[in-house]
Amino acid sequence: MTDARDAIAGSEPPPSPSARPAAALRTKIALSIVAVYVIWGSTYLGLRFALESFPPFLLGGIRYSLAGLLAYVLARRSGLRSPTAREWRASLLTGFLLFALGNGLVGVAEHWIDSGVASVVVATAPLWAVLFASLFGDRPSRTEMIGLALGLCGVVLLQRGDALGGSMIGIVAIVVAPMAWSRGAVLGAHVSLPQGAMASASQMITGGAWMLAISFVRGEQMKPLTASALIAFAYLVVFGSFVAFSAFQFLLRHTRPALANSGAFVNPIVALVLGALIAGEVLTIYHLFACMLTGLAVFAVLKKR
């Protein structure tokens, strides 16, 4: 009887060739989701430690230039062509919004604001994307307007609890950062960017160049290099920039936009927990309610889309 079952099992046809690519794609999507959820959630704490030695724009300039060059080399080796002059110009614009403003201002803000709090405010980026998308004729619905209102209430709640601190520079920086990031993300869908992974590479290279230029104009200077800052810097370059941003771009190409942007739900939770456990950041009821409001706001927007 056993021999008969073995014979029947052995006679089953192998998986079709088309099933293998589908399974591989699902695996890549799952790994990309983990990267966007966990790695990007941890970068806020990594940024805090890196800022012990690196000024914000110099940190971002080196970080994204290295990650972008690595991504460029790998993209060329995989057979992708170099960007055209038009694509470099598009990358120059979106790279400025995504990295020089979207990321650089987070680094500026974290001089005064806890990493977990910064992550909650940055999580409002999908809400701003709804407003910017309206500039291209995509008017927000009533549900999306409710989401926008809830997200703004979350930010106001953080300020009421003094979580945003007393520095106007820090407050303006952390509010403008997600606005700039979402503007760059929406604009990226309407300009001529390179194909595939080369889009990530070109945007990181140009974004890094912008940040280095801003660092030079500001006259930023390094502080004494600490071991924790060096480890955090390496983590941000390899994982926070190259791995996570490439994973995000992969999700944008292969999944629904709602899934690609769903890290906005998880990143603040990861950042708040890591900030409290590792850096001793205070976790108050204001933080938790603001995180909940922001999560509901982003859910309302992404569910609609």
The residue that leads in pLDDT, 36 or 140, is: 36
Lowest-confidence range among 9-13, 27-31, 217-221?
9-13
Percent of the chain with pLDDT over 70: 89
| pLDDT score of 118 more than 90 | no
> Minimal CA–CA distance to 251: which of 35, 29, 62?
29
Q: Tell me the per-residue pLDDT of 257-280, one tens digit each, with 9 for 90 and over.
A: 667 777 777 888 888 889 989 988
The residue that leads in pLDDT, 127 or 163, is: 127
> Minimal CA–CA distance to 98: which of 180, 29, 192, 16?
180
The residue that leads in pLDDT, 252 or 88, is: 88
Q: Tell me the per-residue pLDDT of 177-217, one tens digit each, with 9 for 90 and over.
A: 999 988 888 888 788 889 888 998 999 999 999 999 999 99
Assign residue 55 a region: left if phi > 0, alpha if psi is -120 to 50, beta otherwise? beta
Confidence at residue 9, expressed as pLDDT on a 0 to 100 scale: 46
Confidence at residue 177, expressed as pLDDT on a 0 to 100 scale: 93
| pLDDT score of 150 more than 50 | yes
Q: What is the dihedral of CA 274, 276, 279, 284, to 10 degrees?
A: 140
| pLDDT score of 286 more than 80 | no
Q: Which two tokens stand for residue 90?
A: 């598009």
SS3 content of the chain, % helix, strand, coil (to 5): 75, 0, 25
> Minimal CA–CA distance to 42: which of 196, 223, 273?
273
Confidence at residue 228, expressed as pLDDT on a 0 to 100 scale: 95
Q: What is the mean pLDDT of the chain?
A: 84
Confidence at residue 17, expressed as pLDDT on a 0 to 100 scale: 53
Stretch 82-94: mean pLDDT, rounded?
95
| pLDDT score of 6 more than 50 | no
Tell me 136's DSSP state: G
- Residue ranges of the domains in the chain? 33-304
| pLDDT score of 48 more than 70 | yes
Lowest-confidence range among 10-19, 184-193, 247-256, 274-283?
10-19
Confidence at residue 296, expressed as pLDDT on a 0 to 100 scale: 80
Alpha helix positions (H), 191-305: 197-218, 227-235, 244-254, 257-260, 263-278, 285-304
Confidence at residue 23, expressed as pLDDT on a 0 to 100 scale: 81
